[in-house]
Amino acid sequence: MRTLRLLTSGLALSAASVAYANDDLTTQIANPAQWAIQTGDYANQRFSQLDQINAENVGDLQVAWTFSTGVLRGHEGSPLVVGDTMYVHTPFPNIVYALDLANEGKIKWKYEPKQDPDVIPVMCCDTVNRGVAYADGKIFLHQADTTVVALDANTGEVAWSVKNGDPAIGETNTATVMPVKDKVIVGISGGEFGVRGSVTAYNIADGSLAWRAYSMGPDSDILFDPENTTHLGQPVGADSGTNTWEGDQWMIGGGTTWGWYSYDPEADLIYYGSGNPSTWNPSQRPGDNRWSMTIFARDPDDGMAKWVYQMTPHDEWDYDGINEMILTDQDVDGAPRKLLTHFDRNGLGYTLDRLTGELITAEKYDPAVNWTSGVDMDPASPTYGRPAVLAQYSTEQNGEDVNSTGICPAALGSKDQQPASYSPETQLFYVPTNHVCMDYEPFRVSYTAGQPYVGATLAMYPAPDSHGGMGNFIAWDNIAGEIRWSIPEQFSVWSGALATAGDVVFYGTLEGYLKAVSAETGEELYRFKTPSGIIGNVMTYEHGGKQYIGILSGVGGWAGIGLAAGLTNPNDGLGAVGGYSALSDYTALGGQLTVFALPN
């Protein structure tokens, strides 16, 4: 493990002076009283400088007010606060509320799109949405049916809308979007339906298409320059997006982009990850299946890729690479570096140089991970950067229709989309994790547009020889490359974390608890049970000189799909229904925003 030492207090503090970012959004992000972007800042650190609520007084938190969303499905993402207005979103049908914080939360406007309910069965793992975005006086919503709509932030009137995909062939959306400069960056869902993933940029002014970059396909489709786009420091060469696929399988190859996006204004690069290759039956798609399971660094102006890194070549376990990329400035071996840290579904925490794509570290952040013995870190090796797969846990070791057992992590990964946070004060990453293993049996499946294209049956269960629960909330020390402390949880921690300058870290649990813990030690300082399980992301803001903590509760998502959709067959929900069957003993459906504050 190379030595990492903090150099700066984080990207968010310096980004405001850089002209490359969207000027309006950058100004809003720089004001810690607001929560102007889902990720807290462009660096995805999810750190707040507010410290009115701190480790000494957080135990006195009280519920300040609540708001019912009127929707009973999984509530991911968080509200935004810009000025005196809070913007709250819901899962399908993707209602957006604008609440006037200066007038007791009065509803200023409500936008309720009319979507075809036929989109619901095409959504893989609940009808979640990870929130709206703000820039240039507009609120941006990417609906389940892939309609991208720009709303006037003051009135809710539609400024423009554009269709980004086609649900008839399995293309849907669950993700938020990211405004960068004069564009808004959007992704696509549908890897379980054999779509071909892409990232698209629309012009903020009128919604016109600026560029689209696919995850796999010809160089012109994936926006690669064969000689100047690199993988681990080497040019990718011509046809890299097709030559590791058999025939035209890449055309239905998955690699969807439903995760989080980050942006470095100084480097002028956006970062994101691609998801699983289609199908889940690896024997039907021999080869590395590039560029699924890949981190991309792209120019936001034209979409051209500067570098890529494929984490799980020829994925056999559905270890999507869509989790957030957290950007920090640190010292490596005595020299300053601009870094990217990514906690992948495959159970490995990666650190790369975000300018060059050089791989610096790749370590297991859950000790239960067993499908790999580790990543080859020798640049001179022909397998440099590849994980070594242990044959016992390969899902194609014995061909199709053979059940591989005891694989850790399960398909939902050691962490799914639930975002981690980073505190520049403690130099720790706070990571919500899944402590879940699986049995995995692939079977042959044929492709039909708009129909599930999975090809595997799964069973999930807690990791053996552990605390018996299905989750941990951990503090990750990227200097020592180890877990500093770990809090065991009965169920997966499916909530996004928030770190604050008050030395407090917040997260939610699937049973419905909002928890506050010491950023230094992990000691629990506060808990409150909200009306439903929490899969949303904790946020904070200040209004009228008072700091507030906000969280959406409403059980669902992949882990809670059984409750959200009323499923009882253990194999449904791609194996999650059986794995999380006990969740119904602790919580029920809901859709509520709960806001906390200290007493007057």
Mark the binding-site residues for Ca(2+), compressed into ranges.
192, 276, 318
- Find residue 172's DSSP bridge partners: 189
Residue with tokens 């970012």: 21
- Give the Cβ contact number of residue 29 at 10 Å: 24
Q: Take residue 131 and report the two structure tokens written for it.
A: 């929130």
Dihedral (Cα; 33, 39, 42, 46), 10-degree rounding: 70
- 393-400 CB contacts, 8 Å cutoff, 24+ apart: 394/316, 395/282, 395/316, 395/317, 395/440, 395/442, 395/456, 396/281, 396/282, 396/283, 396/316, 396/442, 399/283, 400/281, 400/283, 400/442, 400/443, 400/444
Q: Are 534 and 509 in contact (CB under 8 A)?
A: yes
* One-letter amino acid for residue 457 of the chain: T
Name the residue among 323, 258, 314 with its Cα closest to residue 125.
Answer: 258
Query: 3-class SS at 13?
Result: helix
Residue 163 neighbours by CB under 8 Å, 6+ apart: 145, 146, 147, 148
- Give the Cβ contact number of residue 28 at 10 Å: 21
Measured between alpha carbons, how far is 433 from 445 in angstroms, rounded to an integer?
31
Residue with tokens 């709960």: 594
Q: HSE on the CB side for 506, CA within 13 Å?
A: 30
Confirm whether 344 is a catalytic residue: no
DSSP string, 527-591: EEE-SS---SB-EEEEETTEEEEEEEE---TTTTHHHHHT---TTTGGGHHHHTGGGGGT-----
- Check 318, 329, 366, 416 and give the catalytic one: 318
- Give the Cβ contact number of residue 334 at 10 Å: 7
Name the residue among 410, 188, 408 with its Cα closest to residue 318.
Answer: 410
Q: Are 512 and 443 in contact (CB under 8 A)?
A: no
Residue 295 neighbours by CB under 8 Å, 6+ apart: 271, 272, 273, 308, 309, 311, 321, 325, 340, 342, 350, 352, 357
Residues serving a catalytic function are 318
